[in-house]
Structure 1
Amino acid sequence: MTRRGLGQRAALRLPSPGSGHGLVTGFGSIVRASRPSTPVGVAMVAALAASLAGCGGDAEAGKRGSGPAPTSSQAAERADWIPGYVARLTPAEKVGQLFVPTVGDAAQGRAMVRRYHVGGVIYFPENLRTPRSTAELSNALQKASKIPLTIGVDEEQGIVSRTPFVTRFPGNMTLGATGRPDDAQAAAQATGAELRAVGINQNYAPDADVNVNPANPVIGIRSFGADPGLVAKMTHAAVAGYQQAGVAATAKHFPGHGDTATDSHTGLPVIRHSRATWERLDAPPFASAGADAVMSAHIVVPKLDDSGDPATLSKTVLTGLLRQKLGFQGVIVTDSLQMEGVREKYSDRAVPVRAINAGADQLLMPPSLPVAYQAVLRAAKSGRIPQARLDDAVARILRLKERRGLFRGTQVDPAKAADQVGTSEHHALALSVAEHGVTVVSDDGNVLPLKGRSVYVTGAKSARVGAALRAAGVKTAGSLGQADVALLTTLNDGASGTAARARALASKPTVVAALGAPYDLDKATRAKALVATFSSAAPAITALARVLSGQVKPTGKLPVPVAGKPVGAGADS
């Protein structure tokens, strides 16, 4: 996505307005203000990953509509209080819960929350200057809201990262290359803990799309890969990691955005998959994700719904397939309503009403909150949105908030926020994940490892790659003529461009390393070795150097077909 009076409060144990909903740590548990928070260590992350791998954590929450198996009294309480809570809300309050707009500063945000009763907000970089200021903004917004807010962000890691101060992990395709669900879970848990420390309790991640189109302009390395089984396994693990950190996880983009050459931010993609292909290829990651929420895609899939409406506005897709066929009982949230893919056919007044009637529960980033809010409120009052549909949507939103502990506390400690993000333990974990993902696609010339030879480095991020190689004990040369080996690094340069540059270096044995889309390697037939990191972030560059030098044995496997090699190919395959 891009930018363009409740009653019976004591009996329900609900927060009073303005109470701030209690103080939480990065794990989402209530603590006293004087109690110190503990950064997440590698050992703790590993232990959590191992325990969740065995028990599934809370990853079935979205499908079941609840958290870990409750006791009979807990189940009764959860079943009892939410319908009564919804019944006491005014129509204006119910409609407000459906909206998740952007937010400006604290004053603007407080006024918006109070006027429109919004159910949540989404942060962008302007809201995320420092950990302390972000925590203070989160606290201010929560204090202004009668009902705890979902405070979300689009923090997929990799190439979609909005939060400048969190530990930088490689993105999904690197994780797919590791083949290790524990890595996906640990990375998500660490990211989630840092988000929770600044008051963010929902992440619009992970991406569950199966990327089978190398020309896909909007997904690509945001995907775990091209194999639905791999993507399903890694999506489920990432969801569990976020949930362990107390952060609601959002699988996206349903019914599957992995085979398109059109960007839904600027147009309306049409995907030609048959129903059988969809069931085999696109559906599995969503079916098993266990996410708190699923984000709809602004795409048309004629074999699923021949109306021509995007999935976000399709009752056949959202209610028929996601709710009824896949059994998803969590929150359905639209992708940003500012995107062109959902605005081509209907007006900005009609879109939110159609989305709710199609089965969506939350409306993300309406182009104009006042316009969309009034349109939905009028439709609710007139019956164009049936009361049962409205109440169902609100109840699902409240269940998500209850599962993630928001009714038990939302306030965070701004003074401690900075100590809980960017920890040394999380940086070590990021490097470990990056090392596991480095994939030697081929080494036909037996030029690896590079230690003991002089290497001329050229291409994307060449200065940083060269420095990392020297730190790993590899000598670098100032020119091709002085070198024993050439290393060409690429960053989404395209297969033809990469091949041409590799040919220009052919006087020396050449290694080509793709730091972004691995499809750059597809035509580099003159190279003696091909390597993919799927990321140009600092941990990935360090990991690349450690693998090329021989310090670390490469274990990554291709998560997508590249250079004639199938999914699963790698150094020792």
Structure 2
Amino acid sequence: MTPMMHAPLILDVAGLELTAADRKRLRNPLVGGVVLFARNWQRREQLAALCAQIKALRPDLLIAVDHEGGRVQRFRTDGFTPLPAMRELGTNWMVDAPGSMRRAAACGFVLATELRACGVDFSFTPVLDLDWGGSTVIGDRAFHADARVVTVLAQSLMLGMARAGMAHCAKHFPGHGFVRADTHLDVARDPRSLDAIWAADAAPYQWLAPGLRAVMPAHVIYPEVDAQPAGFSKVWLQEVLRERIGFTGAILSDDLGMAAARANGQSLSQAALAGLEAGCDAMLVCNQSVIEGGRPLDDLLRELGQAMRQGRWTPDARSAQRRLDLLPTQPALPWDELMVSDTYLAALDAMHGTEAQG
């Protein structure tokens, strides 16, 4: 598929089914995807119907969700398997490293097959942040404090997802685990030098780069490197991630609705333009459809369209292709078939630590 238009926005929708306003926004050629939340979930049949509505409008839209495991799992009932927090896998590593790798791969497969059976294309996982012990927003979402353990377990999880036909998104580059502030609510600054971050938090990105499909930068400021948060920094995205690390996949911003993304009072469109200029391929905009009937999204689409027509922003075919490359390329098993699949049942056993019988 040759992209005719860079569709750089991933937007949320309001409820359990598409409204007329949702449909109008998703038809806009600036929109490349949809991010789902718990408010978009009631049961599996409803979720599948919502995803089918989205794909009926535009098959190229990427349907995404934050579905990591532990406390970040949007769909938890009606058959969805409760996934462990990633710290649990890291703790198990210290006792049984091969078994922990096996469990991580199984988690990735279960996570991806269940989502895909309901029509979801993509999950923003795994977290590559190191567990430095002070971050409550990251906390048990991190695999471990050791970059080597994080790398191996994340790779195992990503392999499980890939077997199910789902791409992944490593986050939050170059590392969110050292800072205590929650960027949803406040500005976060990491005072360390580039060398210190490169040797620790950024190491998993270096080691995994040839196989990474997508990366989400942190809304954290690293003042020793750049005055801008990483997701708005050419230094981090172009000089470090693209050139020094050699990452060639999609760069997807963290949510522009977060306080740290617009700490200086920028509008959504100003933040989106800044992120695209810095090197992001797509900008994530969450929880705006429920504000004043989605007025912030309508303003964003209008203002970004004006910026394009005025030459302040130019669509990039390479960015469009990177987004399209995240869409699944193999068919998903329907839920009822998945539930009796030998591969899925074996993955469930492995995820729960059941020993393989030989």
Tell me the TM-score normalised to structure 1 length: 0.54
Q: Letter of the aligned partner of 2:307 in structure 1? A: A
User: 1:117-158 CA distances to partner (integer Å, 9 max, x unpaired)?
Assistant: 62111111122221121111111110111x422111111101
Question: 169, 177, 185: which one pairs with 1:258?
Answer: 177
Distance 1:294 1:137 in 2: 26
Q: How does 1:91-130 map to 2 (within 5 A)?
A: 94-95=5-6, 97-104=7-14, 105-108=16-19, 109-116=22-29, 118-130=31-43
Shift in Å, 1:110: 3.3
**C-alpha contact 2:187 2:259 (8 A) present in aligned 1:** yes
Q: In the alignment, what sits opposite 1:176?
A: 90
Given that 1:132 and 1:415 are in contact with CA atoms closer than 8 Å, whether structure 2 keeps it comes out as no
Structure 1 position 347, deviation (Å): 2.6
Tell me how far apart the structure 2 counterparts of residues 233 and 267 of structure 1 sit (CA, whole Å).
32
Check whether the contact 1:106–1:141 (CA below 8 A) recurs between aligned residues: no
Equivalent residue for 2:139?
220
Instruction: For residue 242 of structure 1, report the CA deviation from its aligned partner.
Output: 1.1
2:64·2:120 contact (CA, 8 Å) conserved in 1? yes
Q: Which moved more, 1:97-106 or 1:220-229?
A: 97-106
Please give the per-residue CA displacement for 1:356-411, whole angstroms capped at 9, x wherever unaligned.
01001111125422222223222222222244xx222112112333xx31xx768x
Report the equivalent of 1:391.
317
3-state SS of 1:121 partner: strand
Task: Map 1:493-572 to 2 at 5 A.
Answer: none
> What residue in structure 2 maps to residue 31 of structure 1?
none
Give matches, 1:403-418, under 5 Å: 404-405=328-329, 413=334
Alpha-carbon distance in structure 2 between the residues aligned to 1:192 and 1:413: 13
Contact 1:268 1:341 in 2 (8 A): yes
- Classify 1:304/1:117 alpha carbon distance in 2 versus 1 (closer, same or farther; 3 Å): closer
Q: Secondary structure at the match of 2:13?
A: coil
Give the corresponding residue for 1:302.
Answer: 223
Moved more, 226-235 or 109-118: 109-118
Contact 1:154 1:205 in 2 (8 A): yes
Q: Cα 1:107–1:173, aligned 2, differ >3 Å: closer, same or farther? A: closer
5+ residue gaps, structure 1, are 1-81, 436-573
- Deviation digits for residues 51-95 of structure 1, max 9, x if unmatched? xxxxxxxxxxxxxxxxxxxxxxxxxxxxxxx5xx23xx2xxxx35
Look up the SS of the partner of 1:232 in the other structure. Answer: helix
SS of corresponding position for 1:248:
coil
**Residues 333-369 of structure 1, C-alpha deviation per residue, up to 9 Å, x if partnerless?**
1111110011112232210000001001111125422
Q: Is the 8 A contact 2:106 2:347 kept in 1?
A: no
CA contact (8 A) 1:129 1:164 kept: no
Residues 1:209 and 2:129 are matched in the alignment: yes
Q: Could you tell me how far apart the structure 2 residues matched to 1:229 and 1:414 are? A: 35
The separation in 2 between residues aligned to 1:427 and 1:189, in whole angstroms, is 9
Does the Cα contact within 8 Å between 1:135 and 1:417 map onto a contact in 2?
no
Among 432, 445, 455, which residue is 2:353 paired with? 432
CA 1:134/1:396 → structure 2, altered by over 3 Å: closer, same or farther?
same
Alpha-carbon distance, 1:418 to partner: 7.6
Say if 2:51 is the partner of 1:131.
Answer: no
What SS is found at the alignment partner of 2:215? Answer: strand
- The Cα offsets for residues 162-183 of structure 1, whole Å up to 9 and x where unpaired, read as 1113211211111112223222
Paired residues, number:
331
For structure 2, the residue ranges without an aligned partner over 5 or more in a row are 94-99, 289-295
1:193 partner amino acid: T
Residue 187 of structure 2 corresponds to residue 268 of structure 1: yes
Q: 1:427, CA displacement in angstroms?
A: 4.8
Tell me if the contact between 1:131 and 1:417 (Cα under 8 Å) persists in the aligned partners.
no
Contact in 1 for aligned 2:102/2:350 (Cα 8 Å): no
3-state SS of paired residue (2:68) = coil
Q: Contact (CA 8 Å) 2:176, 2:220: kept in 1 or not?
A: yes
Q: Distance in 1 between matches of 2:61 and 2:244?
A: 30
In the other structure, the counterpart of 1:239 is 158
- Structure 2 residue corresponding to 1:376, chosen from 294, 304, 325: 304
Q: CA deviation at 1:215?
A: 2.1
Q: Is the 8 A contact 1:295 1:335 kept in 2?
A: yes
Aligned counterpart, 2:293: none
> Secondary structure at 2:34's aligned position in 1?
strand
**Does the 8 A contact of 1:198 with 1:417 survive in 2?**
no
1:195 to 91, 115, 120: 115
The alignment status of 1:280 with 2:199, answered yes or no, reads yes
CA distance in 2, matches of 1:248, 1:204: 9
1:236–1:288 CA contact under 8 A, matched in 2 = no
- 1:410-441, Cα deviation, whole Å (9 max, x unpaired): 8x757768878xx76555333318x9xxxxxx
> How high is the sequence identity, in percent, across the aligned residues?
28
